[in-house]
Amino acid sequence: MRVIIVEDKVAGGKEACKVFANALANGAKVLGLATGGTPETTYQELVASKLDFSKLVSVNLDEYVGLGADDPQSYNYYMKQHLFNQKPFAKSYLPNGLAENEAAEIERYNQVLAANPVDLQLLGIGENGHIGFNEPGSPLDAKTRKVALTESTIKANARYFEREEDVPRYAYSMGIGSIMQAKEILLEAFGAKKAQAVKALVEGPVDANVPATILQKHPNVTVIVDKQAAALLTKK
């Protein structure tokens, strides 16, 4: 696990862009993408870069159950606003939040991932150590599944909605087993609220109650954190 400590999230986005550029230079064909506040500066750098994604495939970590692609709070909409409209891919896959048959949608997305092995997967990390929507206690070998969001995650995501009760209670998410299949993983964390999770990720034991710690078992992980998120690390 390679840890890069930067001054702030703007610098973090620049470092992340270098990781993407290196992956493309090494022949990456499929990029795994994430949403939320953390990767925004990374997407800004990718949009401003000369990188060409027009022959690549993207697959996203997750999507809220109950939100359609045109809903401004959906992750499909987020990706269009932050990346796809400016840097289109040959094909972009996300779970369908409005799928009528949940089991069929889960199977569809697992087939998408099987047909498009991820070369580089971008991740954030929750304050409780979740990756994707894989909350504490999630099975470490799971594939795509429907997950119930914890109260802490609902509260953390409420800032994007008019009211907390508007936050969906369920999401489709790549499982930890699916995430671990990526050839390379890039995890970003910014801000003091992520410091405890980052310490567990980098220095703690592998523990299903802190899902991100499983990344210690992956052979190719880069962690980009700002000084606040790195504050509790003993080795800097």
d(CA 24, CA 11): 20
120 close to 186: Cβ distance less than 8 angstroms: yes
**2-221 fold:** Rossmann fold (3.40.50)
74-123 pLDDT per residue, tens? 999 999 999 999 999 999 999 999 999 999 999 999 999 999 999 999 99
Could you say which of 63, 105, 130, 226 is catalytic?
A: 130
Tokens standing for residue 15: 């470092």
Full-model pTM = 0.94
20-57 pLDDT per residue, tens? 999 999 999 999 999 999 999 999 999 999 999 999 99
In DSSP notation, 171-195 reads EEE--HHHHTTSSEEEEEE-SGGGH
Q: Which residue has the tokens 């997950």?
A: 147
User: In terms of DSSP bridges, do strands 170-173 and 145-148 run parallel, antiparallel, or are they unpaired?
Assistant: antiparallel
123 close to 134: Cβ distance less than 8 angstroms: no
Could you say which of 128, 184, 188, 226 is catalytic?
A: 128
Residue 162 designated active-site: no
pLDDT at 236: 62
Residue 8 designated active-site: no
Residue 203 designated active-site: no
Which residues, other chains included, contact 91 with Cβ-Cβ below 8 Å and sequence gap of 6+?
57, 58
Q: Where on the phi/psi map is residue 100: left (φ > 0), alpha (ψ -120 to 50), or beta?
A: alpha
Residue 218 designated active-site: no
